[in-house]
Every structure is written in structure tokens, then in C-alpha cells.
Chain A
Amino acid sequence: MNFDRAPSKPPSLPDRRARWRWGHGLLTVGIALGGIALGIGSAWWVLKSPWSAPSVQSGAWQTSTVAGSANADMYTRSRIAVGALLALSREETLYYVADRDDAGQPLRSACSYRIEGTPPPARWWSITAYADDFFLFANDAHRYSLNGGAARLDAQGRFALLSGPQDPNPPAAATPTHWLPTPGDRGLIFTLRLYNPDAALAAAPATLAPPSIRRVGACP
């Protein structure tokens, strides 16, 4: 057998052109795919960022000033479609959302919270607990919210509600605080809805006297 290798010849000009075309084609496809991935990723990141929509803050609560409106920019419209589809304009309904407590800590369903405040100036109001996928927490008691009709006010005219995986009320409590079950351990969002808010509040949503959100006990 002859193990001698024949000396390699440099590629001919047509071969070099073909290789260059292949390389150039692959690079073009790579740039196109990379650009598309970068575009989708940046869109998703911007829509998930809290500063992407014009909003105002009141305590731990945040509300968009243009939700549902035809004046909404494309980022706000897209963000609302992802997290609050079919929202009404603020003259009809104000939606305040909280995903952090008063101390600035992210809300978790495994922790217990106490929400307290005075009834907001609106025809009707409610506070609802949502999981971080924007849907209700499944629970046997079918308790998902506290509304103005069901809220009991104390001598100072304040309402209170508790949330958490277990009912924190003592078993024999004469007047137990309204409890919203939040099973599991995942992100938690509270939404405060104000239907037909007073005109002054609709014009200046930051002036809301915000219900406080305080953690109760230790978090597992």
C-alpha cells in the first residue's frame, strides 16, 4: 500500500467563489435570525418592564393613565392586552395594581398580608387577588375578592382583609377579617377596581388614599 499523500492543490477560483457564497449565505441567515430573536426578546422585555406604560403610583398601587384609551401608545396597548385585556377607560373604571407590599417586597402567595384602608371614592370598588399569570387562585371557598358591598367597616370607617395560604383568623373569632386564600408559592398581584370613580380622582389618580399592604408574620 502506498501511504504517501499527494500534495494538496490550492482550490480553484470557482471553488473559492462557491465557498464564499456559502459562507456569505450562512452569515446572512444568521444575521436575519439573530435580528428577529433580538426584536422579539426586546419587545417581550419592554412589555414586562414597569416603566413601559405611562402610569402613576399611590402607595404600593400603580395605575395606567391611558389603559383602554384610544390615546394609548402601542406599548401601553400591548402591555394592557397581555395583562389586563378589555380594560375600560379611566372615566368609567380605575384599575390599581400592586405586585409589591408597602415595604417594597414582591408579593408572594405563600406569605400572608393585611390590606387596610378607607373605602375609595367611587360608586363601587373591589380588591381581587390574582396569581402572577393574571388568573384567579383556585380555592374551595370560592373566595377571590372583597368588594364595597361586602366589606365591614370599623369604628374609624376602615375596611380590612387578609390574604394568605391559611386562614389567619382564630377559629372562634366573633368577627373574622375577610380572608382571600392564595394557595401555593408564586407571585401575587392585587387589583383594586373603582367603578365610576369620583371625577376628581379620575382626573388625578395619584391622589387616591392607598390601602396599605403589610406582611403578617414570617414568610416560609
Chain B
Amino acid sequence: MSRCWLRYVLALLAIAAATHVLVVWAIPRLIMQRVMRTTPADLGHPGATPRVYFPPMTDATQRRIVMPSPDLLYAICVFDVSQHPLRVTANPRLSNYWSVAGYADNSDNFFVVNDRQLAGQPLDLVLVGATGSVPSATLPQGARVLVAPSDKGLLLMRVLVSDYEAEKALLEPARRTLRCEPLP
């Protein structure tokens, strides 16, 4: 009888351990999936590329992503490079801090570049999946190839803001230079 109960207890612990590992592993992937699925494209803005979302300036009404910074203006590009590589360009021409960071579908920050590292040059890169490649004929001149660890993920542009109302005319066009366009 006691052996029988021991078997039951071991089965309970085995199921608990497997569930525990599965939940911890799945949480970042599920959260990223939700963010990527619910990120709208800013289709309403004239001239905006439909693959990039430009959320309004961060305030207490922004409740999509935890710990938003009220000192940064964001642009979000959700990518899927399973079919085509993605060309990512940005040229905000700002003297203050800005950066573009890449996040894999498990939330890992696999890439970041900031204005100082670019030293005044525009950002120009081609994002490919782990198994993908870019034919040299289609690789834009001067573009850097970057391998994403997952086919899906997102790119996040951060632009430092001191006084949004005063700097709006400068910052809004600057962040809208972020483009994400699939290559053939």
C-alpha cells in the first residue's frame, strides 16, 4: 500500500516539475507573442511605413508594455524574416541619445546600436533568420547583415526626450525615419 502511495507522490512531483519548467520557459515567449500580435501599424499617418508603429508619447495611459520610460519616444517594428530578409534603415539626425534594439521571440536583446556607435551615419542593416541568407545581388550597398536568432521578433527605436511639446517638431519626423521593408 505504501509503495502505491509513493508512486502517486512521485507522479505528482514529476507533473509539478514538468509544469514548472514549461511555465517558466513559456512566459517570455507568450508575452512577446502578445506584444507582437497586438502591435498595430500606424497606417493612419501619411507617409508612414505600415510595418512600423509609432506610439504616442509615453504617459500613464500607456499600458501595453511594463515599465515604459516617460523620457523616451518609441517606434516599434514587428518582424518576420521566415520568408524574406528585412531591410532596416533609420536616419534621425539627432544630437541626443537614440538607439535601435532587436529582440528575439523569447525576449532576448540580441542587438543594439546607438547614435554614438553610428557616429552620424544612418542605420542600414539587413535582418535575416538563423537559416536565411541574402543573395549578394539584392544586398544594398553599405548595408550590414544581421542574423536574428528567431524568425519573429521586434525592433525598438528609442529617442531621448527632454521636453516633448517643445521638441515635437524635431523628434516626430526623426523617429519616423525608421523603416522596415522586406527585401525580395
Contacts and interface: CB of A to CB of B under 8 A. Distances in A.
Interface in A25-84: 27, 31-32, 34-36, 38-40, 42-44, 46-47, 68-70, 72, 74-75, 77-78, 80-84
Interface string A144-158: 110101100000000
A43 B15 contact: no
A69 B97 CA distance: 21
Nearest to B61: A138
A172 to B, nearest CB: 25
Given A86-B107, A89-B109, A124-B97, A196 B67 contact: no
B81 to A, nearest CB: 18
Nearest to A97: B67
Contacts of B17: 39
A118 B28 CA distance: 35
**Taking chain B's interface residues, is the majority helix, strand, or loop, or is none over half, making it mixed?**
mixed
Nearest to B160: A124
A85 B12 contact: no
Contact of B12 (A31, A124, A191, A193): A31
Interface string B56-92: 0011111101111111000000000000000000000
**Taking chain A's interface residues, is the majority helix, strand, or loop, or is none over half, making it mixed?**
mixed
Given A134-B66, A142-B59, A35 B16 contact: yes
Given A128-B69, A147-B71, A196-B97, A74 B25 contact: yes
Contacts of B59: 136, 142, 144
Contact of B28 (A40, A44, A81, A142): A81
Contact of B24 (A70, A74, A135, A137): A74
A34 B116 CA distance: 54
B15 A39 contact: yes
B16 A42 contact: yes
A44 B67 CA distance: 19
Contacts of B24: 43, 46-47, 74-75, 78
B63 to A, nearest CB: 5
B149 interface: yes
Nearest to B109: A68
A5 to B, nearest CB: 34
Contacts of B63: 135
Contacts of B69: 126, 128, 145, 193
A81 B27 contact: yes
Interface stretch (B42-50, B98-106, B168-176): B98-106
B72 to A, nearest CB: 9
Contacts of B14: 35
Interface residues of B, number: 51
Contacts of A68: 108-109
Contacts of A124: 97, 160
Contacts of A89: 109, 112
Among B66, B104, B110, B114, which residue has the most Cβ atoms of chain A within 10 A? B66
Among A39, A86, A130, A196, which residue has the most Cβ atoms of chain B within 10 A? A86
A38 B12 contact: yes
Contacts of B130: none
A130 B67 contact: yes
Contacts of B99: 88, 92
A126 B156 contact: no
A84 B149 CA distance: 21
Interface of B: 8, 11-25, 27-28, 31-32, 35, 58-63, 65-71, 97, 99, 101, 103-104, 106-110, 112, 114, 116, 149, 156, 160, 162
9 contacts: A36-B19, A39-B15, A42-B16, A43-B24, A83-B66, A83-B67, A128-B71, A144-B59, A147-B162
